[in-house]
Chain A
């Protein structure tokens, strides 16, 4: 590995990869795909990214970055500002509290633990949005979104594992 200024620059860039991928997945979720009804319940890719990086290398995804990613998600989705920002922080908090159990386990187990995180985040979002709008919103769309997020997790994790390997190899 290059130890000169270029190498330092590469290492610095690699440290930004978790934050950049999280933002990338927020943007990906907002790209119009033209599939009827899909946009409403499309997977929350950013939640997958936050869970993945919190388990693998939480030091590269500080709470402030998680909060900002949530704010971008709120801003693009047009929902209550701060809703996903707070929920992403809660997800990070819960995941870090269980990290000792989650690190090093098989992928299937990690995926299974994401089920809980995913549905709890969905429930919290539903509760927060219902409170914000002053009445009970339909629960079905958020549950469908949580399920699709869950199904999208292996694909997102596969991409992020490739990124994580690059980070490790860059030193």
Chain B
């Protein structure tokens, strides 16, 4: 490529990314609008607000009006996250971006036809127009390739016996742990297929899931927190910056390689989780949902790590900040606030509540539900509970104690997934900005 075509390619890619960012903003604005209208509807200012919104937004979806409106908002948020990620992917010239843009357009088309999701054409238009901008340009079309940083990192990581040993040790420990659980819970007379055996299956499944989740919480930020600071510390960062590698390619490549390894560990653990099927008591839905939660947790926590890695000079600082943020976000905030909420809830809305006002109680319910959705473990436990006791994996009505009216709630894994994907996509965008900012406010370089 000549220097001129390099500049040209950059212009095309930036244009594509800008289109997708605008699409994300439009979806965000629409989600906000639906939220505002929903609040107005909940306050019962206009009696048929939810029914109208239902007809307008998801005309082909059966179900309660308020639940479908919430669903439409969540869909808009999901589109926002995906468009943001794809914007970064386009800048990074990731091959999967092209396929994903197409898939996103298709999925929205499916939502339009199947659910009657009337906002889908917007996202379809943004996705297809971006594809057109990229594909009509000969240079841009040819520029999409496997990420060089990812290949380099994976080559290093998977070299020799180290990766093999780590995987073996990990699986042995997990296997030992599962065995221990089995030994503790198994007693004579629990035949396969019986209710008691199902209990063993459940314990095994939950145990393995909990360990994997903990592992991800501790590994994912660590893998990524050192990824950018490490290049600075090894003084290889300047070398990369004088090449044609863009900030987006650099960040995405680092993230891909770190997450690739975490995914390998997760996939290797699936057979262990699947052992639970031998005993019964666990459904495929549970396995799928648990995997979804694990993967999304890994991606988001990995993104938190890389965000701090971009904004700090030293790996130590980046790691400390990534871990403290993760722990505060995952444990401190949900536990403290839900404690306060629980106390206030009983105090205000209980049987002899001081303040029996239904909309306020609804706000409280949503808040505590939101907090449940921040923590992957809480989200998983609640989701499983709903699934086992009520066979609910989607939306369900919740009855307020004040006046017996119902409000729609989504099973926590839905909120969790959308919340975490949105957080990851925004953090990713911010990370690339942070890399650029750190380049700008550079320190004097002494000879």
A binds B: no
